[in-house]
Structure 1
């Protein structure tokens, strides 16, 4: 059992730690598919303490944060949010890494059901890339925007849609590129269905009630994977 036991937040913690650390801990744990007990075992603590950290506005000691970051295969900076304004990929390259081409099925699995992707749109000022919240419905990529907004200009054109994930802690990640024609959704029944299945509203404020879909005709992807040892020579 660790010396780190559940405790109530101090006045300083109430003022400086509104629960963001706990939310990041929970998000990373769920991303890895770990239970609280598994994280507790990895960090030499108690599952009740992990639950407390995830649900209460507390900030544990730096020594425990280091153990917790190691248990979650990440960094203290990621868990505390101190690197949130930095672009991904600022970590060092893995010592033994390789680039793997992904199959179309692997690309579909990584696209999953929802997330944030980037769409390339041709404008009068040249090509523009903007992020959008998206959802996958019946093999279509769907996203909401506002009439007249940059993403709305994709309608009727072949576009590139990219999704990626960078893990600075492990110096690895993946990217998926989908190519296809974007179309405006005019059927009110389809619009209603998309509104119902959307995982979240667009993060940006303001009304965004124009749905567009992309039917991928080509899916490609790559993964940077760090190996435990150099790849042995073939032959």
Structure 2
């Protein structure tokens, strides 16, 4: 029996650790996919939801990220104990660094004023040119929110490492144009399901970000 094909139990924060290490190296999910021989969608699943990994996949991920299986899957309390004495450092990020992080993600949050007040909801999205494009239902509140202020936020955090980053995009939302729609069609698949065939585009006016490190 080939043990490389057997499922391996990984900690609940494994996806955060993979994403943390990938962004540290400045790699996109597609670049990690190429290094591991896995699909980009598989890497995105690893980073954003609980998955069952084989020993072979775990080893390839560790090699691709220049680390060890132990570093990716060590128990949380070991890292927390070692680093709890160190004070956090909050650093602003450059715009190009923020854009790269947004571009490499697939899930974020939008905030806007609806008839019922401020609304914050998660979305699946993709970066098209200089825009954030997402899909929604034609009768949703945001689909009626044409050329109005909106905020988009994406982040990641490792509770064990006490590290993380956050990017905030302020801009306006509008219906996507036909070229923008076509560019995003195969790249955005809402996890919520249902008919979500209205494509909306966020035009960034201000992009800021912060990174917190405990070392």
Q: Tell me, yes or no, whether TM beats 0.5.
A: yes
CA RMSD of aligned residues (A): 3.6
CA shift for structure 1 position 24? 8.3
Cross-structure match for 2:201: 213
CA contact (8 A) 2:128 2:183 kept: no
Cross-structure match for 2:56: 51
CA shift for structure 1 position 118? 0.7
Could you say which structure has the larger radius of gyration? 1
The alpha-carbon distance between structure 1 residues 53 and 6, as it changes in their structure 2 partners (threshold 3 A), is: farther
Confirm whether residue 32 of structure 1 aligns to residue 25 of structure 2. no
User: Unaligned stretches of 5+ in structure 1?
Assistant: 10-16, 37-48, 55-66, 78-91, 228-235
CA shift for structure 1 position 26? 8.1
Cross-structure match for 2:140: 149
User: Unaligned stretches of 5+ in structure 2?
Assistant: 23-31, 37-53, 60-67, 78-82
CA shift for structure 1 position 23? 11
Describe how 1:185-200 pairs up with structure 2 within 5 A: 185=176, 187-196=177-186, 198=187, 200=188
CA contact (8 A) 2:153 2:168 kept: yes
| In 2: Cα distance, 1:104 partner to 1:180 partner | 15
Cross-structure match for 1:169: 160
CA shift for structure 1 position 150? 3.3
Q: State the TM-score, normalizing by the size of structure 2.
A: 0.66
Give the total of aligned pairs. 174
CA shift for structure 1 position 213? 0.6
CA contact (8 A) 1:175 1:221 kept: yes
Cross-structure match for 1:225: 213
| In 1: Cα distance, 2:100 partner to 2:3 partner | 38
1:23-67: CA deviations, max 9, x gaps?
Answer: 98688557635878xxxxxxxxxxxx821778xxxxxxxxxxxx9
Q: State the TM-score, normalizing by the size of structure 1.
A: 0.61
| In 2: Cα distance, 1:210 partner to 1:192 partner | 12
Describe how 1:1-235 pairs up with structure 2 within 5 A: 6=3, 21=10, 29=18, 32-33=21-22, 50-51=55-56, 68=69, 70-72=70-72, 75=75, 95-185=86-176, 187-196=177-186, 198=187, 200-227=188-215
Cross-structure match for 2:26: none
CA contact (8 A) 2:131 2:201 kept: yes
| In 2: Cα distance, 1:121 partner to 1:26 partner | 29
| In 2: Cα distance, 1:100 partner to 1:130 partner | 26
The alpha-carbon distance between structure 1 residues 30 and 215, as it changes in their structure 2 partners (threshold 3 A), is: closer
